Amino acid sequence: MSETSIKIESVDVLLLDLPTIRPHQLSVATMRRQKLVLVRIRASDGIVGWGEATTIGGLAYGEESPESIRTNIDTYMTPVLVGTDATSPNARMFALRSHLQGNRFALCAIETALYDGQARRLGVPLSDLFGGRVRDSLPVAWTLASGDTARDIAEAEHMLDIRRHRVFKLKIGARDVRADVAHVAAIKRALGDRASVRVDVNQAWSETDAMLGMGMLQDAGVDLVEQPIAAHDIEGMRRLRTMNRIPLMADEALHGPLDAFRIAESRAADVYAIKITQSGGLRGAQQVAAIAESANIGLYGGTMLEGAVGTIASAQLFATFPELAWGTELFGPLLLTEEILRTPLQYRDFELQLPAGPGLGIELDEDRLAFLQRQQH
């Protein structure tokens, strides 16, 4: 069978509603379950590629929901893909973007599945299609999001003891600024120099709250503040960055290369939280990283609390970045109570180990997927 005769035969979307190991509290929602959105693309040569488009908190975080992603893929994207050449992910994505507006998460899942399939076809890791990896493991932060100070300290101590994480990010913004800072400062005092402590405000503060909070967090020894104010307020982010010494990280403000350019041009962030879904796919995230590198902006590998597919897809790309000064947050699978891989991802010595196999380097347990889907009905 010649390459040009290899056609896409089917595109399937699977929704898996899985419990988390504990409540995960953000300023916009409290998560007790995570709904994974998996995309499976089968080609006529028997190759199957996987992608993921998982979101946070339904529509609480962004404009795409698991249900809308499935509907839009089934209704508008699958007809454009089925019967076309499976060996050219770029051509397929160009065709989709010529027909569609928005839908970054859905497009990311499809692009990942196409690249996974093509890398498997070629017998190489997906990272090879993006220039090749410069590291075989990635440091991984853990989010402390129970909201209870003593519980968060105990959880962090446990993670240090088992050598799984030594960077901790706290989700704050749901309480008064001073109460939040007191919570963070207590955790930093308990952990001392054994760990890096950072915060994510998820846009919950006003600019005046952020000015107060960032100064207090710096005094408490916190290393980084993520998206303290509204994502659209680039000028406000610039003012905060100018008037504070603690690094400011852009997250929700980054919806791909255009936003990356605008924020860099405004000098409104010290660090970018790169997410493949927020960037509209792997290539978009690679472009965001290139803009950051050109503007001397640090990189942090972000997460949408994806399961194993989205996590390892992100890792395959992040492993190609020459500089990744702020590490990653690719802990999503560790937050879930159910395993969907035949061989789970390996976290040890504070890092996620990248698999060496072709494509994403993982094998999904399709019997387990079918069982978990049946449980939902």
257 shares a domain with 167:
yes
> pLDDT tens across 245-302, in order?
999 999 999 999 999 999 999 999 999 999 999 999 999 999 999 999 999 999 999 9
CA pair distance 316, 322, nearest whole angstrom? 13
Q: What is the CA radius of gyration of the chain?
A: 20
300 shares a domain with 273:
yes
Crossing angle of helices 282-294/308-318, nearest 10°?
40
73 shares a domain with 133:
no
CA pair distance 254, 261, nearest whole angstrom? 9
The per-residue pLDDT for 363 is 97
Instruction: Indicate the range of 19-33, 193-207, 236-250 predicted with least confidence.
Output: 19-33
Q: Which amino acid is at 170?
A: L
- Does residue 358 fall inside a structural domain? no
187 shares a domain with 93:
no
CA pair distance 318, 313, nearest whole angstrom? 9
- Does residue 304 fall inside a structural domain? yes
> pLDDT tens across 335-375, in order?
999 999 999 999 999 999 999 999 999 999 999 999 888 77
CA pair distance 229, 212, nearest whole angstrom? 12
How many domains, in total, are found in the chain?
Answer: 2
The per-residue pLDDT for 9 is 98
Mean pLDDT, residues 207-221: 97
Q: How many CB atoms within 10 Å of residue 57?
A: 17
The per-residue pLDDT for 319 is 98
231 shares a domain with 110:
no
144 shares a domain with 109:
no
Whether 1 has a pLDDT exceeding 50, the answer reads no
43 shares a domain with 21:
yes
Find the largest Cα–Cα distance for the chain.
Answer: 66
User: Whole-structure pTM over 0.75, yes or no?
Assistant: yes
β partners of residue 143 = 169
- Does residue 345 fall inside a structural domain? yes
Active site residues: 171
Q: Which domain holds residue 147?
A: 129-353
Whether 3 has a pLDDT exceeding 60, the answer reads no
- Does residue 251 fall inside a structural domain? yes
CA pair distance 141, 138, nearest whole angstrom? 10
- Does residue 157 fall inside a structural domain? yes
- Does residue 331 fall inside a structural domain? yes
The per-residue pLDDT for 377 is 60
Residues in the chain, overall count? 377
- Does residue 102 fall inside a structural domain? yes
The proportion of the chain whose per-residue pLDDT surpasses 70, expressed as a percent, equals 97
**Mean pLDDT score of the chain:** 95
Q: Where are the alpha helices (DSSP H) in 100-195?
A: 104-122, 149-161, 177-191
138 shares a domain with 57:
no
> What are the φ/ψ torsions at residue 134 (nearest 5 degrees)?
-105, 0
117 shares a domain with 143:
no
- Does residue 360 fall inside a structural domain? no
CB 199 within 8 A of CB 225: yes
Q: How many CB atoms within 10 Å of residue 246?
A: 22
The per-residue pLDDT for 322 is 95
Q: How many CB atoms within 10 Å of residue 102?
A: 12
CB 239 within 8 A of CB 71: no
The per-residue pLDDT for 376 is 73
240 shares a domain with 222:
yes
136 shares a domain with 194:
yes
141 shares a domain with 213:
yes
Mean pLDDT, residues 101-120: 97
Q: What is the CATH number of the domain that holds 199?
A: 3.20.20.120
